[in-house]
Amino acid sequence: MPNLNSDPFDPYELKRIRLFVYLVPVIGVFPAIWALYRRKGDRRERAATRLVVVLALAWVVSYFSLAAGAQSAESLAMPLMLTSSVITSSYFVINLWLMLRVWQRKPLRLPGFSELGDRLP
């Protein structure tokens, strides 16, 4: 049961809401890029925005690469489209899993992607 005495405008709760917005698949990458551009937020929020951007870029690059491959190679079209759909589904599931981690107040870390995101400015 929610605590009715808690302040809905608590800065920590607002930061959690921003993290949820950043983790919305496809759409959330735009506020994440904007937050990175403005260098807004604490260390945890900046790490989350970098992770969101790296995940989205990896998904976009793989999606369009596989689509281009499916267009150019007719014999491999079906396996490449299947792989593309698996990658897209995985992207959505990973974002939902990261939302669950935010809800549980656990750190947002993905092996490989978090380290790559930490290299961003």
Cite the DSSP H helix spans in the chain.
11-22, 29-38, 43-72, 77-103, 113-118
Give the integer Cα–Cα distance in Å for 111 and 31.
23
pLDDT of residue 1: 47
Say what the pLDDT of residue 6 is: 62
Q: What is the pLDDT of residues 68-93, one digit of tens each?
A: 998 888 888 899 999 999 999 999 99
Give me the residues of the chain with pLDDT under 50, please: 1
pLDDT for 7 equals 64
State in Å, rounded, how far the first CA of the chain is from the last one: 40
